Structure 1
Amino acid sequence: MITADKFLIPARELGFNFFTGTPCSYLKPFINYVIDTDGFDFVDSVNEGDAIAIAAGATVGGKRAVVMFQNSGLGNAVNPITSLTYTFNIPVMIITTLRGEPGGPADEPQHELMGQITTAMLETMRLKWAFFPQTEEEVAPALKAADEYMKKHNQPFVFVMRKDDIAEYKLQKKPAASKKDFSITHTDHFELDYKARTTRTPVLEVLQKSVALSAAVIATTGKTGREFYEVGDQKNQLYMVGSMGCALAFGLGLAMVKPKLKVIVLDGDGALLMRTGSMATAGAYKPKNLVHILIDNEAHDSTGGQGTVTGGVSFGTIAAGFGYDKIYSTDRLEKFSEIVEEVKKNDVVTFVHMKTQKGSPEKLGRPKVTPAEVSVRFAEFVQSK
């Protein structure tokens, strides 16, 4: 057993000072120490997958990030681990606990199976891992091994923490006072029949022409990224492949570590429905440079046009409830163009809901640059700002 500072201070000396994740009783001393101690930043994520994406965005922005969660939530993190950090070569440190350890201390029944398969899952995902150091003497070589692996391979490294690896540490800081009175009023401004709306590509053309190279733009997976590439490939654009629903969390991590750079996230309705909770994190941390644009065609356009449920959903009202400061909605292209000009000047976390109809250009291609190449040039762009 070691105290939290015996690992965290040497980790900080290696540059690991951005932490995100979800709680676990095994991790409690770690999370508490990070929250209490100057020189660390901690983002409370709503789930483990979002934490991976937040850390990935922070890493691309130039930070070294650590993700912490209970192994029961490892399943939530599988998709962004295998299709975001692996695919884009983004090295984050992961610390997962080992609840339900075979032969270990008695635990709750819901941890039994996950405890048996946690390390096998890590190996199936081709993740390099090691047990968390149990003595102060083991810390330096453990961190050295993780640091060297991450730098050499540009891939995550995982520490598996067992019960009582970390000594108790009680949180000293008091949480911010909760809001007592809420008054939310929002009216969406959608005027056109579905078939009278524009498709997605003209929306992307308007945005790119207006923004040019003045902001970092993250396009969600599927046809949004593919169409954005076809509109014009630029170094400030990242086209997500896979990791569906993680564009906002990735953009949030980036926006928090690059506060002088405007960060625009292009989301889709199916993707945002999948991870709506990331809006709560964005609204809570309120990065002033974050613009979240939802292009909503009420369909899973990339998989055959099956409908989503967003025809009856007011995302603007949801954004208001989650704490976004500026909210816009429209289904007119000319109005969207006006909104883009306005949000470029905003200095508050902003949400834009743009309704479209489904449909893409015939013979829509795919990016000819690889995700790894996109990641390198995108990181160079954002880190130069």
Structure 2
Amino acid sequence: MSVPTSVLLSRLSAAGYTFFSGVPCSHFADLFERAAESGALTDVPAANEGSAVALAAGAALSGQRAVVALQNSGLGHVVNPLTSLLMVNRIPVLLLISVRGHPDESADEPQHIFMGAATKAILDQLAIDWDEFDGTTSGLDRLLVRAAEAHRQEAPFAVLLRKGQLTPSAAGATPDAPDYPLSAGEAIELICQRLDPTTSIVSTTGFITRELFRIDDRPENFYMQGSLGHCSALAAGLAIAMPNRPVLALDGDGGALMHMGVMSTIGHTQPQNLIHVVLDNESYASTGGQASTSRSSSLDLVASACGYRSSVRCAEAGDILKAMEHFATTRGPHFLLCKINRSHPATLPRVTTRHTPVGNKRRFQDAMGRHVLEPSAAG
């Protein structure tokens, strides 16, 4: 059973909600698109779920009713603002949580297993009242009554939704898509052409990892499945721990924005063997193409300001090849912002069709052990 997204939004509006924020999930793809178009909601895109809760809390302090939509994996980001901000100060916010990896459903991707099993227990431990949506309009109305009671008690309330319980509304205006010449796959192919074969690649979750897996599956690739926003930190940790090994972080705009402070850490620690690539299609492609805020941000200038030794912005094939050639002969850390379009193959293989997460890790570690590298002569 399911209800149209338009029904959910109209019910939220009728209940007095005027502020919407969150981080996209594929189960909520239509919700984020329709919320952005809604004239009844102030839609504020957030870089991470914790910030979405804080944004909503700010709106709530002004007297508005606020909604935060997030995937249950994002509970890890919101524990602190839920407890030390909402609960301590008694600020009511409605949480719409999509549940991936629910133990009652067929197996999801492995990165959702642990949080899927723990979602309800985490909310219980935090003393946050919650209930599951049953996919009916009457069930939605019942949950909004409970949310209204929580609001009167100055407490947050969480609604847990499963895959398929929201059906897409009639399509509205098509969001503007960037008209850059290269796709993610084409950019990855160009980058791989100029890599030292011993380079360790850490790729961010979603379509970028799946594109790399499709194009060049190799033992030196560590595919991050889940942990959005942590690709550059993992790659930096690897580069710092193994300074003679070339390391490349294959990141996306959504991930880079989510924990942009890591760029300051990279600039401060100066891992000379690190290349940080951001494939920027100005959207969350893996969750339905919702717009990110990268169109109004200059990530290449942020990298320069954070202390990367070089930072390059590219949109053409020749510029990517030229930048990679320069990076190969000079000390990093280097930053490469590739502005790309949103096209992908109709079907993209999943890493789990060939490698388990643990198998991927062990293959990667074995590959690093096989390569004996001499100290870098880069100047």
**If the length of structure 1 is used for normalisation, what is the TM-score?**
0.51
> Does structure 1 residue 375 correspond to structure 2 residue 327?
no
> Does structure 1 residue 238 correspond to structure 2 residue 222?
yes
Q: Which residue of 2 aligns with 1:343?
A: 327
How far the C-alpha of 1:271 sits from its partner, in A, is: 0.8
Q: Deviations over 1:65-92 (max 9, x none)?
A: xxxxxxxxxx99947xxxxxxxxxxxxx
For the residues of structure 2 that align with 1:256 and 1:226, how far apart are their CA atoms?
Answer: 26
> Does structure 1 residue 258 correspond to structure 2 residue 242?
yes
> Does structure 1 residue 332 correspond to structure 2 residue 332?
no
Judged with a 3 Å threshold, the aligned counterparts in structure 2 of structure 1 residues 240 and 316 are, in CA distance, closer, same or farther, namely: same
The one of 344, 352, 357 aligned to 2:341: 357
Q: Which residue of 2 aligns with 1:312?
A: 296
Q: Which residue of 2 aligns with 1:321?
A: 305
Matches within 5 A, 1:190-201: 194-201=178-185
How far the C-alpha of 1:200 sits from its partner, in A, is: 0.5
How far the C-alpha of 1:321 sits from its partner, in A, is: 1.4
Identity of aligned residues (%): 27
Q: Deviations over 1:309-341 (max 9, x none)?
A: 111111111111111111111111121011112
Q: Match of 1:372, SS?
A: helix
For the residues of structure 2 that align with 1:223 and 1:124, how far apart are their CA atoms?
Answer: 26
Q: Match of 2:202, SS?
A: strand
> Does structure 1 residue 202 correspond to structure 2 residue 175?
no
On the 8 A contact 1:301/1:359 being kept in 2, the answer is no
**If the length of structure 2 is used for normalisation, what is the TM-score?**
0.52
Q: Which residue of 1 aligns with 2:270?
A: 286
Q: Match of 1:211, SS?
A: coil
Root mean square deviation of aligned Cα = 3.4
- Structure 1 segments (4+ residues) deviating >3 Å: 75-79
Q: Match of 2:277, SS?
A: strand
On the 8 A contact 1:330/1:336 being kept in 2, the answer is yes
Q: Deviations over 1:251-284 (max 9, x none)?
A: 1110011000011001100111111111111111
For the residues of structure 2 that align with 1:363 and 1:356, how far apart are their CA atoms?
Answer: 19
> Does structure 1 residue 217 correspond to structure 2 residue 201?
yes
For the residues of structure 2 that align with 1:213 and 1:77, how far apart are their CA atoms?
Answer: 38
Q: Match of 2:194, SS?
A: helix
Q: Which residue of 1 aligns with 2:16?
A: none
Q: Which amino acid aligns with 2:347?
A: K
On the 8 A contact 2:207/2:286 being kept in 1, the answer is yes
> Does structure 1 residue 248 correspond to structure 2 residue 232?
yes
Q: Which amino acid aligns with 1:381?
A: A
On the 8 A contact 1:225/1:240 being kept in 2, the answer is yes
Q: Which residue of 2 aligns with 1:24?
A: none
Q: Match of 2:358, SS?
A: helix
Q: Structure 2 regions of 5+ residues with no counterpart?
A: 1-49, 51-72, 78-82, 90-114, 120-176, 373-379
Judged with a 3 Å threshold, the aligned counterparts in structure 2 of structure 1 residues 274 and 281 are, in CA distance, closer, same or farther, namely: same
For the residues of structure 2 that align with 1:212 and 1:327, how far apart are their CA atoms?
Answer: 20
How far the C-alpha of 1:383 sits from its partner, in A, is: 3.6
- Aligned pair count reads 216
Matches within 5 A, 1:1-385: 78=76, 124=118, 194-211=178-195, 213-367=197-351, 368-384=354-370, 385=372
Q: Match of 1:195, SS?
A: coil
How far the C-alpha of 1:194 sits from its partner, in A, is: 3.3
Judged with a 3 Å threshold, the aligned counterparts in structure 2 of structure 1 residues 77 and 253 are, in CA distance, closer, same or farther, namely: farther
How far the C-alpha of 1:213 sits from its partner, in A, is: 2.0
Q: Which amino acid aligns with 1:362?
A: A
On the 8 A contact 1:293/1:351 being kept in 2, the answer is yes
On the 8 A contact 1:264/1:292 being kept in 2, the answer is yes
